[in-house]
Structure 1
Amino acid sequence: MSFVKTPIFLTGATGYIGGSVLERLLKHPSSNTFDITVIVRNAEKAKILESKFGVNVVIGTHQDLDKLEACAENAHIVFHCADADDLPAAKAILSGLRKRHAKLGDLPILIHTSGTGVLTDDAKGMHPTDTIYSDLNVEQIKSIPPTALHRNVDLTIMEADHQGYVRAHIILPSTIYGIAQGSLFDAGVSNRHSIQIPQIIKASLDRKQAGVVGLGKAIWPDVHIHDVADLYIVLFDSIVSKPAQTGHGWDGFYFGENGEHTWYQISRAIGEAFVELGISKDPEPTSFSKDELVKYFGSEAAGNYSGSNSRCRADRGRSIGWKARYTTEDMLKSIKPEVIAIKKQLESKA
C-alpha cells in the first residue's frame, strides 16, 4: 500500500524567516511524511537544497506568477514566508489554492507572513503610544485601516478565507533579531540576518556614531528568530492536530512578540558596542538628519519607520501553546555580536 505524503509549498527558503521555518520542517518529528517544494532563483542553492536536504526545487522568482500558482495548486499547505507586500504573488498563490479546492475538493491551508508594521503610526521617535493590540481581539484587528502597511495583502487573504476555498492564518512578527542558526544557514542557502536592527547598525557604522530616529521614544515589540520560527511550527501542529480549535480567517491572526523596547534602547546598545569595539568614543546615539534618513533608508518616510510605534500582545499564539524563550534583554545582548558580524561583512566587501 503506497503512502501519500503531505505536499507543502514554502516561499522564502533562502531568506531569514523562510530558512528558519524550513529548517524546522526538515527536523520535524513527522518530516518523513512531508513532500516539500520551494521556489528559488539561485541554481547553486537549488542544487544544495535538492541534493543535501531532499527538497523539491522550482527555479524561479516571485515575479513568475504562473510558477507560484502551480506550486500552490499542488500543495495542501503553503508557508508564504517572503515579501509581505507583494500583492501579485499573494494573489497567484491564492489562485492556485482556489484551483486546488475546485479540482480536488481539498481545503488547503495558508500560513502567510505579515508583520506588526501594520500597526505603525507616524511618531517619528518623538513619543510612545498607549494603544496595544491583542490578536485575540478580533474587532480591534478589523479596525486597522486598509491603508496600513501590509494591510492590502492581509485583507486579500481574509477575503479568500471568507470565500471558503482556503483556511488562512497570518503570522505577524515584530522586530525579529538574532543571527539565525542551522544547517541551511551553515550550507550558505539561507540568510542569517534580519532587516530592522542591521539597517540601523549599517547606517551607524557609516556615520561612526549610533543613530536614532527623533528621540527614540517610540515602542516596538521584539521576538527572536528561533522563537518566531517556532511559532510557525506550533501553529502548523495545531492546525494538523486540532483544526476545529485553531483559529483561521479573522480568528487567525498571530502576533510574534515576547517583550518590548524603545528605539532608543536599540541605538544605545549599538552605541555601547561601538565604544567597546573602538568605533566611537560616545555611546549616546544622535538623531539622524533628514538627509541621513534618505541616505541610509532610501527616503525620509522609510527612515521614520524606525521611529514608529507598534505595540501588541501575542495572546493567540500563547493560547495554542507557543512559549517564547528569548526576552528583550536577550535582544539587547544580541546587538554587539550583530555589530561585529555586519562590520566583518562590510569590510570583506570593501
Structure 2
Amino acid sequence: MSKILLTGATGYVGGTTLDQLIKSTEPSLKSLTIDTLVRTDDQAQKLRDAYGARVNPIKWVGLEDTAFIVDTAANYDIIVNTGSGFIPAGALAFVDGLARRAKAGGPAPWLLHIAGCTNLADRPLTQEAYPLREWDDERDAGAIFDFMKEADALEPYAQRTTEVGVLEAAAASGVQAVSLNTPLIFGEGTGLFNRAGLVIPISMRYIVQHGYGFKLLDTANFDYVHVVDLADLYVLLVRAILERPNRGVGFIPTGREGVLFPAVARVLMTEIAQRCLDAVFSAGVLPRDGTPQEKEIRQASLQEIADELMFGLVDVAERGWAGHKAMKGTVARKLLNWKPTRLEEAWRQEFEDEFVALRDGRRGITLDACIGIRTT
C-alpha cells in the first residue's frame, strides 16, 4: 500500500484535491488513507469529522520548518504538494526527504508540485513585452524549463525559483517530480476550508469598492481552469502512479520536461473586469452616488494596484495584472485523458456566483464593508 502525503489540505486547491481523492470510487483510490499536514488541532478535527479514517492529520508549523519536512517526507511514496509555491526552501525539503527514501530502495518516490503561470509572464510595463508568445507543454517541453531557469538567473522570482529548483533537484536525486503550472483558478472549491480563488474575488471587491474596474494593459491575459478540473488532474496523476507499470516512471514527464499546463481557455484581463462590472450592475449595487453611472474600466498605475491588491509587491502585480502568460495544455489531455468539463458556461456563471459570495460575506469581507454602508 502506497503512503501518500498531501500539503495544503486547508487551502483552495489542496482542499478540493483531497476531497476528490477521498470521494473517488476508483479501485486504486477508494481504500487509501491520505496523510495531511495541518497547523491546528481544530483543523485536524474538522478533517477527521468529515473524512473519518480516510485522513490522518499531522501537525506542523509550515514550510519554514525544513528539518521536519525532510524527516516527514522520507516516509512517503507520493507527495501532493498543493501548498504555497513561493517558499523554495520548504519545497526543496520535500525533495530532500523523498531522496532519502529513494536511496533506501523500493519504488521511485513522486512529488506532484504546484506552481503558477506568472512564472512565464513578461513584465511589459517595466521591461520588454512579449504579447504574442504562447507556450505549449507538448511542443515546448524542455524549452519551458530552460526559459524559466534562464529568466530566474537574471531576475529571481520566488515561485519560479521554487519550480525550477524542485524539478532540477528531483532529477538529480532519483525523485520523480512533475509540476502543474496553473493558470487563473476559478470556481467554488469542494474542500472544508478555503473555497475561493484569487483573481476574480479581488477584481469583484475592487469594483464594488471603487465603482469601476481597472486595467494596467489592454493585452494582459490569463488562461483559466476550474478548481475541480484541476483537482481531477491531480487525481489522474496519482492514479497513473498507482496503476501503471513501473509506477508511471517514463510515462509521466518529469524533470526538465515535467512542466504541465492545466489550461482550458484564455481571456483578457479587461474581459474579467467587464464581467465583474456586469454582475455588480445587474445586481443593482452599482451605480451609486459618487460612482460612474455607466460601466467603466479605468487605467490604473502599477504602483497603485501593487499597493492596494498585492501587498506592495510590484513584480507580482505586474506579472499577474499586466503580464502576457499564454499557455496551451496538451500533455494532460493526450497522456492522462484529462477532460475538463467546467468550461465556458461555468466561467460565465462564476461572476454571478462570486458576487453572491461577496454579498454573503463568504470572501473574507462583506458587501456592506466594501461600500462603506450597512445593507442589513
TM-score over 0.5 (shorter chain): yes
Q: Using the TM superposition, give the Cα deviation of residue 258 of structure 1 relative to its aligned residue in structure 2, in angstroms.
A: 0.5
When normalised by structure 2's length, the TM-score is 0.83
User: Deviations along 1:79-102, whole A, 9 cap, x unmatched?
Assistant: 000001111111221121111112
Deviation at 1:131, TM superposition (A): 0.7
| Higher mean C-alpha displacement, 164-173 vs 50-59 | 50-59
Deviation at 1:328, TM superposition (A): 4.3
Secondary structure of the equivalent of 1:212? strand
Cross-structure match for 1:143: 147
Q: Conserved in 2, the CA contact under 8 Å of 1:19 and 1:191?
A: yes
**RMSD between superposed Cα atoms in Å:** 2.3
Q: Does 1:221 align with 2:223?
A: yes
User: How big is each residue's C-alpha offset from its partner over 1:204-257, in whole Å with a ceiling of 9 and x where there is no partner?
Assistant: 222132x22224421211111111111111222223333132222123211011
What is the distance in 1 between the residues matched to 2:74 and 2:32? 16
Deviation at 1:171, TM superposition (A): 0.6
The gaps in structure 2 that reach 5 residues or longer are 288-293, 370-376
| Structure 1 residues 337 and 257, CA gap change in structure 2 (3 angstroms) | same
Is the counterpart of residue 312 in structure 1 residue 301 in structure 2? no
Q: Aligned AA for 2:22?
A: L
Structure 1 residues 292 and 107, CA gap change in structure 2 (3 angstroms): closer
SS at match of 1:6: coil
Percent of pairs with identical residues: 23
**Could you tell me which amino acid in structure 1 is paired with residue 240 of structure 2?**
S
Q: CA deviation at 1:148?
A: 6.1
Q: For the residues of structure 1 that align with 2:368 and 2:193, how far apart are their CA atoms?
A: 19
SS in 2 for 1:335: helix
Identify the match of residue 288 of structure 1 among 278, 289, 300: 300
Change (3 A) 1:247 1:277: same
Q: Distance in 2 between matches of 1:148 and 1:176?
A: 24
Once the 2 structures are TM-superposed, how far is the Cα of residue 331 of structure 1 from its aligned partner? Answer: 1.7
**What is the deviation of 1:335?**
1.1
Cα 1:75–1:348 shift into 2, 3 Å: farther
The alignment's TM-score, normalised by the length of structure 1, stands at: 0.89
2:194 alignment partner in structure 1: 191
Amino acid at match of 1:298: F
- 8 Å CA contact 1:274, 1:283 repeated in 2: no
Counterpart of 2:206? 203
CA–CA distance in structure 2, aligned partners of residues 67 and 217 of structure 1: 44
- Describe the shift of the 1:349–1:68 C-alpha distance in structure 2 as closer, same or farther (beyond 3 A): farther
Q: Which sits farther off after the overlay, 256-265 or 157-166?
A: 157-166
Change (3 A) 1:127 1:157: closer
Describe the shift of the 1:318–1:277 C-alpha distance in structure 2 as closer, same or farther (beyond 3 A). same
- 1:70 offset after TM fit, Å? 2.6
The alignment partner of 1:31 has SS state of coil
Match status 1:109 vs 2:147: no
Secondary structure, in 3 states, of the residue corresponding to 1:245?
Answer: coil
Most deviating of 196-205 and 167-176:
196-205
What is the one-letter code of the residue matched to 2:272?
A: I
Q: Aligned partners of 1:170, 1:176: CA distance in 2, in Å? A: 16
**2:100 maps to 1:99:** yes
Runs of 4+ aligned structure 1 residues displaced above 6 Å come to 125-128
Aligned match of 1:253: 259
Instruction: Tell me how far 1:71 sits from its aligned partner.
Output: 2.4
Aligned residues: 339
Counterparts of residues 1-350 of structure 1 (less than 5 Å): 5-28=1-24, 29=26, 30-53=28-51, 54=53, 55-62=55-62, 63-124=64-125, 129-136=131-138, 137-141=140-144, 142-144=146-148, 145-146=151-152, 147=155, 149=157, 150-181=159-190, 185=191, 189-209=192-212, 211-242=213-244, 243=248, 244-281=250-287, 282-289=294-301, 290-299=303-312, 300-304=314-318, 305-320=320-335, 321-345=337-361, 346-347=365-366
Map Cα deviations across residues 272-321 of structure 1 (whole Å, 9 max, x no partner).
11111222232232233443541232224443321211101111111121
Q: For the structure 1 residues 309 and 51, does the alpha-carbon distance in structure 2 shift closer, same or farther, using more than 3 Å as the test?
A: same
